[in-house]
Amino acid sequence: MTSGPLPTAGGVWGGPEEAISLLASGQVTELSLSDDTHGTGYDVLLWLEEAVATRGFVPPRVQVHSANSSARQKMTLAITRIGRFVQDGQGG
């Protein structure tokens, strides 16, 4: 699953809302995100970080493929925080 563009069954990117909906279903095992399209990948990471920290959500494996070096660094830090929440056993 990728954040930009994320093809749906119809082949159209549904945006961060669709990615979050798929994540919430618990069926996503791997996630590859970009922040090259107006911050969409970071929006997904913010949701994921909150879900892990407050509800004990089990995150999928997450990778970043952004060409924007600043965005890639910001997203990598978010992924690190998510990993720490998992290690610390924080959540719901």
The rounded average pLDDT for each run of 10 residues, N- to C-terminus, in the chain (92 residues) is 47 74 92 76 94 94 88 93 90 52
What pLDDT is recorded for position 65?
Answer: 85
What pLDDT is recorded for position 13?
Answer: 60
Closest CA to 40 of 73, 66, 22: 66
Both tokens of 84, joined, read 């720490």
Residue with tokens 């924080």: 90
What pLDDT is recorded for position 10?
Answer: 47
What pLDDT is recorded for position 20?
Answer: 93
Tell me the whole-structure pTM to 2 decimals. Answer: 0.79
Residue spans of the domains in the chain: they are 16-88
What pLDDT is recorded for position 3?
Answer: 43
Both tokens of 60, joined, read 């999928």
What pLDDT is recorded for position 15?
Answer: 80
